[in-house]
Amino acid sequence: MSENNSISGRRLNQPISGNEIPRFAGITTMLRLPHVEDPKQLDVGFIGVPLDIGTANKSGTRYGPRQIRAESAMIRACNQATRAAPYESLAVGDLGDVATNPYSLERAVDGIEEHFSRILDADCIPLAMGGDHTLTLPILRAMAKKHGPVAVIHVDGHSDTSDTMFGERIAHGTMFRRAVEEKLVNPRQVIQIGLRGTGFGTDDFDWAREQGFWNVPAERCWHRSLDPLMMEVRKRFSNTPVYLTFDIDSLDPAFAPGTGAIEPGGLTTIQGIEIIRGMKGLNVVGCDLVEVLPYCDQAGNTAGVAANLLFEMLCVLPGVKYHQARDPSSFRSDLPVEWI
């Protein structure tokens, strides 16, 4: 492996620096990475899945990928907090969007599965940008074909385990029922974090619990750090292929106003970051971030938060290079160490 190649031998890419082309300029790609057509050139590829016809209420998530790309322009190459330098060891790029059928959810879902299968066949880890949450079902189908049933970290305001919606078996609230039925996931290795809100009955979450899902309601997360939770998760998930699906409505609407099915009392962005950073060391085989709704995101900040969370996901993928932290004593601060 030469210096400019990734751990798999692929050519490394760098995001365009704001010193070369201003952040408001240029053809808009995710994180200002090259647009690459062929997943074989990449260890990790961002893929947009512009979908909203699986949506029960507010439509418009089809514009999620475009907006996430636009708002990713401020994100630089390295993670200051964790010292991750993902572009130094992984070949990362923007694979563009799935050409989702705008009129037929069924055919859109099939197209997504096929598209992700092709990416997985290329040994490229997909980081999907939604798009409504329905898209996770076809991705899990593709995942299961490659990896068998996977473990899932499911961060969401909703359980998404309904049997049908408006009589349909596929929609953005039924994916995890289908995933269990189709054996795409190991139900005892599904953790759902952030669930809350109202239900058709008072036992909506019980079906999932009966399958073995670990159900962490939002109320359990109130007023505390999720670092200890993630320690538990890491203990139990080591080595298993893990898929992360992050519904932006897991966050409280204060932190993610731009989504279509808000539930008050949700996670903070800080907790969202704790979850992702807490996955470091797991065998992450793919991730998605879904339900960004630009129409309800006047300032673009929900897309901006989403872009940052996707970057944090990139930083915990297997093989990412982490720089050593400087010895604090080398700095001339006399503040107590707990603050620096």
Residue 166 binding a copy of itself, by CB under 8 A:
yes
Rule CB under 8 A: choose which of 74, 121, 182, 319 binds a copy of itself.
74
Least distance between a copy of itself and beta carbon 160 (Å):
13
Q: From 64-72, 122-130, 146-154, 239-247, give the range in contact with a copy of itself by CB under 8 A.
A: 64-72
CA dihedral 319→154→50→67, nearest 10 degrees, is -70
**Binding to a copy of itself (CB under 8 A): which residues in 303-322?**
304-305, 308-309, 311
Residue 118 binding a copy of itself, by CB under 8 A:
no
**Binding to a copy of itself (CB under 8 A): which residues in 78-97?**
78-81, 83-85, 94, 96-97
x/- contact string, 3-42, with a copy of itself (CB under 8 A)?
Answer: --------------xxxxxxxxxxxxx-----x-------
Least distance between a copy of itself and beta carbon 208 (Å):
9
Does residue 242 contact residue 151 with C-beta atoms inside 8 Å? Answer: yes
d(CA 259, CA 302): 8
Question: Closest CB to a copy of itself among 2 and 37?
Answer: 37
**Binding to a copy of itself (CB under 8 A): which residues in 200-219?**
200-206, 209-217, 219
Rg (CA), the chain: 19
Q: Which residue has the tokens 């692929």?
A: 10
Of 40, 42, 46, the closest CA to residue 75 belongs to: 46
d(CA 232, CA 236): 7
Provide CB contacts within 8 A for 217, sequence distance 6+: 194, 195, 196, 205
Residue 99 binding a copy of itself, by CB under 8 A:
yes
